[in-house]
Amino acid sequence: MTTTCFKCKWQYTVNCSKTEKINHKLNEIREGHHEYCNVTVPACRNEAGFCDCNGNGNLDPGETGWDCHSGSHLEWVQKQPGFNKKNVSLEYRFALYGVDCADYCPEVCQFQFMSGPTCDPKYVSYELHANPMGFIRNTSTWKYHYQHVWDKTIPKWTFVHINNKDCTIKLGAEKKWSDNLIGAGCKKIPEGWEQPTEVSSTEVCAQKETFYLMKKSDQTLDKTGQTREHSKN
């Protein structure tokens, strides 16, 4: 008996509505680049879609989606008193800033790397999501951080926070690998792997209808258990 491993993924939809049929052509392009919930979906006001947390191709209760928005309406939204990126209403987040489905599907593996003396949210330096594999310094996200966040230096990571008890990651440097860092919570990065060049991880299969829900054994870095899905504006 073969068990299908459903993956959390972003689903583009047609006719500018998150509740319409799947746009298979756009989704095939994204999946062809191994982009599921591990890569941010770029901002786009002319496309619609949703975070398919359990990978079943349907916008189920508890999953989050977005419709298209006109440019003139988005300009109006941005001109409203008190508007800023941190408090933008959920319905405009995709059109204005793009979507990271790991923020809306808490069972997706999230690996948050710290560059400080403790595992405190203020020391978060970098994040990897879902099932990261291979050389991390070749990605566009790494290159952006290197140029614009880290001022062309490579940070030394001290801790990694893992959100899900079933998630595992190990770090590679100079053709050597660390032991597996396993389970929910904060893990100290072993000496010699503070500046990894590659990673390997396990993949969590989405087999349950409640895949989008936070489990008691999971952890968010701020200890609240709140994801963006639970804190809609």
Are residues 69 and 117 in contact, defined by beta-carbon separation less than 8 angstroms? no
Q: Per-residue pLDDT tens for 188-202?
A: 999 999 999 999 988
Alpha-carbon gap, residue 185 to 9, rounded angstroms: 24
Q: Per-residue pLDDT tens for 134-170?
A: 899 988 889 989 999 999 999 999 999 998 888 899 9
* pLDDT-derived band at 219, boundaries 50, 70, 90: low
Instruction: Please name the helix (run of DSSP H) or strand (run of DSSP E) that holds residue 140, with its range, or none.
Output: helix 140-144
Alpha-carbon gap, residue 132 to 160, rounded angstroms: 14
Domain residues of the chain, as ranges?
Answer: 9-103, 110-201
Question: What is the pLDDT averaged over residues 8-21?
Answer: 95
Full-model pTM:
0.69
